[in-house]
Structure 1
């Protein structure tokens, strides 16, 4: 059995912090865009704007879940450090494993949101060009 050290667990903190910062920036950018589209829709209601707002809302929901998983990852990471402090090696390893799983799930959801973003841009380009992209 491999021994878990403070250093190993500590390596996850900066990674989680950077991910949380990226997720928060993405969330704030999308939220601002949604607010602008809602204001535009109030001025001149449009089915196309409503579709964009719905799509962005789904992406915001995904980002919210990525943030929640990131926070859970951080919580499990802290728990792992605390359990190491209490010399509870097996529980510390379990908590660290859960932290890694939460981080992985967060990254996978982030990847899905990025795919949605790219697809939305492709649709916009198709509308301008009047042709479908591959």
Structure 2
């Protein structure tokens, strides 16, 4: 396989957009947690506790999604440096590691989305139980 400095550069836009999306998720969930915390303090409810626990899991996953995504970007940059320095073989392995980390970040993202769906189910079950 032939690889030059432009090959890992192709991942930059994808990784950057993923990190932006992860940050937006984090900020939205943080706002939601603050709101639910305030609501729970005013009127304790077990449904709110379930939602807060669900959001806690999601924040934890997003932290790891971001960490692995940043590591992917770091190894992508390291790969470019190694290729620039003429270390083609090492650069190939580092690029492979970068891709694996990106895949791990995407897997964590899928898990976070599944937990998000569970949260919506919990929220809707409250309405449906009132019928």
TM-score for the superposition, normalised by structure 1? 0.92
The within-5 A match list for 1:35-114 is 35-114=34-113
Deviation at 1:26, TM superposition (A): 0.4
Match of 2:31, SS? helix
Deviation at 1:130, TM superposition (A): 2.8
Match of 2:86, SS? coil
For structure 1, list consecutive stretches of 5 or more residues without a partner in the other structure: none
1:16 aligns with 15
2:5 aligns with 6
Match of 1:45, SS? coil
* Higher relative contact order structure (alpha carbons within 8 Å, sequence separation ≥ 6): 2
Runs of 4+ in 1 over 6 A off after TM superposition: none
Structure 1 CA distance, aligned partners of 2:103 and 2:56? 23
Q: Is the 8 A contact 1:23 1:66 kept in 2?
A: yes
2:125 aligns with 126
For structure 2, list consecutive stretches of 5 or more residues without a partner in the other structure: none
Is 46-55 or 67-76 further displaced after alignment? 46-55
Relative to structure 1, is the Cα distance of residues 48 and 123 closer, same or farther in structure 2, using a 3 angstrom cutoff?
A: closer
What's the C-alpha RMSD, in Å, of the aligned pairs? Answer: 1.2
Instruction: Count residues with an aligned counterpart.
Output: 130
